[in-house]
Amino acid sequence: MDVKLSTSSAFGMRELALPQVKGLSQSRLQQHVLFWGCYVLFFGLLYGSYIDDYYNAFMVELVELPFKMGLVYFNMYYLMPRYLLQKRYAEFFFYLLLVMTAVAALMQYVLLPFLIHPLFCPSTCTENNLTLYRLIKNVVNLNYVVAITAVIALLKNWYRHQQAAQLLTQDKLEAELKFLKAQIHPHFLFNTLNSLYSLTLKKSDNAPEVVLKLSGLMDYMLYDATAAKVPLEKELDYIKNYIDLERIRYGNRVDVQFTESGDISGKSIAPMMLLPFVENAFKHGVTTETENAWIRIDVKMLEQQLVLLVENCKCGEKASGNNRDMASGIGLRNLQRRLELLYEGRYSLETEDEADSYAARLELDLSE
């Protein structure tokens, strides 16, 4: 099923805030401290091995760290939300280059001669370090930390939106399933009350038995059918009770045969999934004016594969006309949608509309 998700293009500074990732740390502060610790350790070791002086390398990295952190957070929380995520790429790269140049100049012409040079490297820091070439090289060097943090921020931003999209999709599917399940109850109840109404009009002695069976069916719908899955045995018992109700209503005018084979123990199914086939067979294949109507219901369990075959006659002109709309009935439309949501890629539904009969065959994979 295609689910369209509309996301606002306006990203505020808070929206880019790094999301929590379970198992990594307990807070964002710990994540940031861990990142900057790893950064100082890695580049301290890298430059220390290059100049063969690990102490000075680490001290320089620590002194430069506040300037690099300021650049990184300004980029992540201001430039990226304001320009990059708004697809204003030219402005983003222009301002980023401008800020990086300003930070590199501050580090080179202020930090280097007045702090780093006299304290950590009086012999190696010379006038050559204050040239324009050196400034450009420092700007390029700042790209490492800016690029690394920008990629991390974009990945976490993407991850957060993916999680939000999945939650929204899941919530939408759950709401749709609840709506479809809610439609089943009044639809079934309407048909059953119609049957009871017909019996009361005829002052049938079977009316009290219908009320009793209807009470049992309502108990199933109100309590068992609220679960995501029910035992297949309960679902079939529910269908058998429904068939008994219809037998009472139609008497000898309809021949109903129900067969069941295979091991159904331990199998579960979404509730009210099989009833629409049986319900439509009675609704469209049998009428009060028709005699000698027939309905065949066959349930087979082949390991984890459930096969349901429901056939009914087209008895009489009225029933024949009703069958033309059977496939588009409320119950079967509802069923088709629930199958798509709950058993996507795990079911097969075929119908066969003949001149004197109608058949529906469902194959359903019940493996968990």
Rounded (10°) CA dihedral 163, 164, 165, 166: 50
Instruction: Note whether 20 and 154 are same-domain residues.
Output: yes
**Tokens (6 digits) for 298:** 């066959």
Q: Is the overall model pTM greater than 0.95, yes or no?
A: no
CA-CA distance, 68 to 104, in Å (whole number)?
9
Instruction: Note whether 256 and 211 are same-domain residues.
Output: yes
DSSP per residue, 80-118? IIIIITTT-HHHHHHHHHHHHHHHHHHIIIIIIIIIIHH
Distance of CA 239 to the CA centre of its chain: 31
Query: Which pLDDT belongs to residue 180?
Result: 54
Instruction: Note whether 293 and 158 are same-domain residues.
Output: no
Domain boundary among 146, 167, 188: 167
Query: Which pLDDT belongs to residue 365?
Result: 92
| Residue (of 213, 215, 198, 203) closest to 245 by Cα position | 213
CB environment 183-220: b (16+ within 10 A), e (fewer): bbeebbeebbeebbeebeeeebebbeebeebbeebeeb
Residue 209 within a domain:
yes
Q: What are phi and psi of 256, to 5 degrees?
A: -110, 125
Query: Which pLDDT belongs to residue 363?
Result: 93
Query: Which pLDDT belongs to residue 299?
Result: 94
Q: What does pLDDT average to in each consecutive run of 10 residues of the chain (368 residues)?
A: 35 38 59 86 82 77 86 90 88 91 84 68 57 79 86 86 70 58 60 72 74 75 74 89 81 87 89 83 70 88 92 66 46 75 87 86 88
Q: Are 247 and 286 in contact (CB under 8 A)?
A: no
Instruction: Note whether 333 and 209 are same-domain residues.
Output: yes
Residue 190 within a domain:
no
Residue 187 within a domain:
no
Domain boundary among 167, 193, 219: 167
CA-CA distance, 362 to 267, in Å (whole number)?
16
Instruction: Note whether 28 and 143 are same-domain residues.
Output: yes
Domain count, the chain: 2
Rounded (10°) CA dihedral 120, 121, 123, 124: 170
CA-CA distance, 360 to 339, in Å (whole number)?
14
Query: Which pLDDT belongs to residue 325?
Result: 44
Domain of 271, CATH number, reads: 3.30.565.10
Q: Are 302 and 232 in contact (CB under 8 A)?
A: no
Residue 179 within a domain:
no
Instruction: Note whether 258 and 345 are same-domain residues.
Output: yes
Instruction: Note whether 163 and 225 are same-domain residues.
Output: no
Query: Which pLDDT belongs to residue 15?
Result: 39
Residue 174 within a domain:
no
Instruction: Note whether 251 and 349 are same-domain residues.
Output: yes
DSSP symbol at 290: -
Interstrand relation of 254-261 and 293-302 (parallel, antiparallel or unpaired): parallel
Domain boundary among 144, 167, 190: 167
Instruction: Note whether 136 and 245 are same-domain residues.
Output: no
* Crossing angle of helices 54-74 and 132-201, rounded to 10°: 50
DSSP E strands: which ranges in 151-277? 230-231, 254-261, 268-269
Query: Which pLDDT belongs to residue 296?
Result: 93
CA-CA distance, 270 to 227, in Å (whole number)?
8
Residue 121, SS3 per DSSP:
coil
Query: Which pLDDT belongs to residue 21?
Result: 41
CA-CA distance, 86 to 68, in Å (whole number)?
24
Query: In which domain, by residue range, is 74 found?
Result: 14-167
Residue 279 within a domain:
yes
Instruction: Note whether 301 and 359 are same-domain residues.
Output: yes
